[in-house]
Structure formats: structure tokens, C-alpha cells
A and B are shown apart, each in its own frame.
Chain A
Amino acid sequence: DSGVTQTPKHLITATGQRVTLRCSPRSGDLSVYWYQQSLDQGLQFLIQYYNGEERAKGNILERFSAQQFPDLHSELNLSSLELGDSALYFCASSVFYTSNTGELFFGEGSRLTVL
């Protein structure tokens, strides 16, 4: 158990809808990262927050947004969903400011299926 909690584990929705994925980092970790894992794209970095502030951005679509709250949990909002958004979304946390300093701890992921 990594200590990172993601909800929901599975989500099925229709095209055009909006969903919110939630992540609770390990106790004491200030950084939260979101990754998208699909069969053909591997693990793609979406966005990172550190202590409530956006710190780094990857290939995150404009239809997607995220935030980190004062209690350090984070939410990833996906809107106007398309079939291609079906994927496994991982949240990871670390105590460090950047991902090249040490270990990222990943949750078990939220599997999104868009029909």
C-alpha cells in the first residue's frame, strides 16, 4: 500500500459528460502529480501541484483541469469527455518539490471508460 488513495476506482460515463477524480496524497507529501495511462501512449504526465500551487504542466488538454486544496488532496476534472479519454488516471505524491529528487508514490488509479 503506497499510502496514496484515489477515488473512484472505476467510472463509466458517456461522451460529453464531466467527471471528477480525487486523490489523497501520503501523509506529509506536498507534491501531487497526475498521470494518464493508456495502452498506446504509456504513462503521460498531465500536471503537478506543490502545496496548492501548480508547479509543472505536461500534455494536459484544455478540457482537463486540476487543483490542490489546502488539505493537500487534489482533484482532476475532465469535461466534454471523448471516447479517447478512456484511460487509467494515476495520482502520485512525493515530499519533494520536483520529481527528479526522489521517489513518486502512485495510487492504484481510477479507470475511466467513456462510452
Chain B
Amino acid sequence: QQQVKQSPQSLIVQKGGISIINCAYENTAFDYFPWYQQFPGKGPALLIAIRPDVSEKKEGRFTISFNKSAKQFSLHIMDSQPGDSATYFCAASLPFTGGTSYGKLTFGQGTILTVHP
């Protein structure tokens, strides 16, 4: 119920192409869905986030699409660049309702994106 399943594990895209990473969840109580980007030797950094009251959020070349009924959300990277090569993690978190369940950001397994020049 707390799991977030991410696919694919790895992705190779040509420069200028579209990179698409998908995540699925079971717990409908999740209400916050961020994406984090991690470069080698660095910690993850927030890229973009969405809440279930909107179906899409766009920031520059990065777009989150959210499908509440299917319990899925995805990251689209338009015009992919070699500098986008990194590991991408989707995540989900429960709302603050007290107890030990809040404050837990559950991450997907990660997708290693390689963008070839």
C-alpha cells in the first residue's frame, strides 16, 4: 500500500527526443507527488511536484501528467539534453494526519536516463 512502482529502470534517448518515466501507486490517500533528480555523486534534488487536484503541471521542459483514476503519474522531459542524464525518482507522500505515517516520502526505484548527443 505504501509502494510506488517506477518504470523503466533505464532509458536511453537521443538529444531532442522526449523522455517519459512512469510511476504507479496503490494508496489513494497519497496527496503529494514530487519528482527528484539525482546526478552521480550528488543527493537527489526536487525537480517538480504535483498534487492530485490537477492533472498536469509544466515547468520549462519538464511536465508531470497525473491520472488519479488510474493511480498513475508520469514525468515527460521534452527536447531532452545530454545534461538531463541523471537518475530520476518519483515519490509520494501521505497527508499530515498525525501518527507515524506522516512525514514519509516513499520513493520509486529510480530510472537512469541517458541522453545521447
* Residues of A in contact with B (beta carbons under 8 Å apart): 2, 4, 31, 33, 35, 42-45, 48, 50, 55-58, 90, 92, 97-101, 103-109
- B109 engages A48 (CB within 8 Å): no
Which residues of chain B (92-117) have a CB below 8 Å from chain A? 93-96, 100-110
Which of B36, B46, B93, B109 makes the CB contact (< 8 A) with A100?
Answer: B93
Q: Is the interface of A mostly helix, strand, loop or mixed?
A: strand
Q: Given the known inter-chain contacts A43-B89, A43-B110, please indicate yes or no for A99 contacting B45, CB distance below 8 A.
A: no
Residues of A within 8 A of B110 (CB): 42-43
* Residue from the set B45, B104, B108 with the largest chain A CB neighbour count within 10 Å: B104
CB distance from B93 to the nearest CB of A (A): 3
Residues of A within 8 A of B106 (CB): 45
Residues of A within 8 A of B103 (CB): 31, 33, 48, 50, 55-56, 97-100
Interface size class of B (residues with CB under 8 A): 20 to 34
- A101 engages B96 (CB within 8 Å): yes
Residues of A within 8 A of B45 (CB): 2, 105-106
Residues of A within 8 A of B79 (CB): none
Q: Given the known inter-chain contacts A108-B41, A109-B43, please indicate yes or no for A56 contacting B104, CB distance below 8 A.
A: yes
Enumerate 24 A-B pairs (CB-CB under 8 Å) in ascending A order.
Answer: A2-B45, A42-B107, A43-B44, A43-B107, A45-B106, A45-B107, A55-B102, A56-B103, A56-B104, A57-B100, A90-B43, A98-B93, A98-B103, A99-B93, A100-B31, A100-B32, A100-B93, A100-B94, A100-B95, A100-B96, A100-B102, A103-B46, A106-B43, A108-B41
CB distance from B29 to the nearest CB of A (A): 11
Per-position 1/0 for B48-75, Cβ under 8 A of A = 0100000000000000000000000000
Residues of A within 8 A of B89 (CB): 42-43
Residues of A within 8 A of B36 (CB): 106
Which of B44, B100, B107, B108 makes the CB contact (< 8 A) with A56?
Answer: B100
- What 9 A-B pairs come out closest when comparing CB atoms? A106-B43, A100-B93, A56-B103, A100-B32, A43-B107, A99-B105, A42-B109, A103-B46, A98-B103
